[in-house]
Amino acid sequence: MIERLRTFLTVLEEGSVNRASRRLGVPQPTLSRQIQALEAEVGGTLLERGSWGVRATDLGFKVREKMLPVIKAHDQAWAEVQASARGREAQLRVGYLGSTAHRFLTKPLEHLRNEFPGLRLWLFDQTPVEQLEAMRNGELDVAIIGQEGAALADDFYKRKAARLPLCVAIASSHALSGNKTISLSDLAGESFVGVAEATVPGRNEWITRLCQRAGFKPRFLAKTTAINDTFTLIGGEGAVALLPTYSDQMSSPGIVFVPIAEKWATWDLYVLRQRGRGNPASRRLVELIM
């Protein structure tokens, strides 16, 4: 069940069975059979398929909502058990925002593995709220977190890793999609996709402050808990979303990312580390990310 759920969640993240197959290194027919077996076990259809790729049905959204925390809890608990068997000093537990991994973690982790060849790395794709909770529970050594979560993290060692410009995610059919840049004021009449406070506290307030500086108050169409839901609303409802520029590394059918013209419109990424108890690997990872 766990592996079938992982397969399903990966398909949703990629928005394509083909891309999920390549990412997992599993033949597409095998992956499709795993999805079918999961649907049979759940008792309903979990994915809708079309020329645009795949997306979750209402039942699929429910499965993701209920089971994603279970998968993460399983992975973290298993990591804790294995870490206890091997000794704490031989491990490093890192929480990160999924969309930041390639740009900010790939190279630092390569260097870290070379410098600490016996180190066991445990990586957890988590929301800011999940990262903060795990840090406070002693379940993470390092967290790669956005400015909203960092504002609530004064109890940890904290350093700014990057200040990033913004882009707007819009439907490829939108009148502004062909622009080289878009001013915030051009979005005054648009519906914005926000983020649930339980997932990223303070994100909607940040968006509101940016828009007010540009002369208008944003109207939020919805507040989502996952980036795939955001893309679905952009493609299906014609909404827009303000995102840090690293988000343009993600892909979704029918969605384009256009840079925001205002240079003052930025978003900060932070690295958190446990105070006073970080092992050498955790300190070195922070240095490498910086």
Instruction: Look at residue 85 in the predicted model and tell me its pLDDT.
Output: 59
Alpha helices (H) along 15-57: 17-24, 28-42
Alpha helices (H) along 50-127: 58-86, 101-104, 106-115
Nearest CA among 239, 199, 242 for reference residue 222: 239
Does residue 279 sit in helix, strand or coil? coil
Per-residue pLDDT of the chain (290 residues; tens, 9 = 90+): 788 888 888 888 777 777 888 877 888 888 888 888 888 888 888 888 777 677 888 888 888 888 888 888 888 888 777 666 555 557 889 998 877 777 788 899 899 989 888 888 888 988 888 888 898 888 999 999 888 877 777 888 888 888 989 999 999 999 998 999 999 999 999 999 988 888 888 889 999 999 999 999 999 988 887 778 888 888 888 889 998 887 766 667 888 999 999 999 999 989 888 887 557 888 888 889 87
Which token pair is 2? 């766990």
Contact (CB, 8 A) for 137 and 93: no
Which token pair is 32? 């499709």
Q: Where are the beta strands (DSSP E) in the chain?
A: 47-50, 53-56, 91-96, 120-125, 142-146, 157-171, 191-195, 219-224, 241-244, 255-259, 266-273
Contact (CB, 8 A) for 171 and 154: no
Determine if the pTM surpasses 0.75.
no
Matching residue, tokens 């790669």: 144
